[in-house]
Amino acid sequence: MSDNAHGAAGLTAVIQRGWFTAGALAILTLIEYVVATTLDRPTLWLLPFIVLKGGLILEVFMHSSDLKTLDGGNA
């Protein structure tokens, strides 16, 4: 029974992390839109947002931190 409860809590944490990431990506995209439509040459101003969004996607959805382990993250 404790394994079931721990599994449900783990699933809830993963879902919350996914929603948080989706919200962060939405906010960054909104800021990117405002910057891109306001400035004449926005490329340099958009680079930090591109890096942040890429990092979030790599970590949360692609699990890039698992590449640090020799077995590819499989325990």
User: pLDDT by residue (tens digit) across 14-26?
Assistant: 889 989 999 999 9
Residue 27 lies in a domain: yes
Cα–Cα distance, 45 to 53 (Å, whole number) = 14
In this structure, are residues 42 and 63 in contact, taking their beta carbons and an 8 Å threshold?
no
Quote the longest CA-to-CA distance of the chain: 60
Residue 60 lies in a domain: yes
The 3-state DSSP class for residue 72 equals: coil
Residue 9 lies in a domain: no
Q: What is the pTM of this model?
A: 0.72
Residue 54 lies in a domain: yes
Token representation of residue 39: 């400035």
Q: What is the pLDDT of residues 11-61, one digit of tens each?
A: 898 889 989 999 999 999 999 999 999 999 999 999 999 999 999 998 888
Assign 1 a pLDDT band (cuts: 50, 70, 90). Answer: very low
| pLDDT number for residue 71 | 61
Range of the structural domain that residue 46 is part of: 21-75
HSE (side-chain half, CA atoms, 13 Å) at 46: 15
Query: How many domains is the chain partitioned into structurally?
Result: 1
| pLDDT number for residue 37 | 95
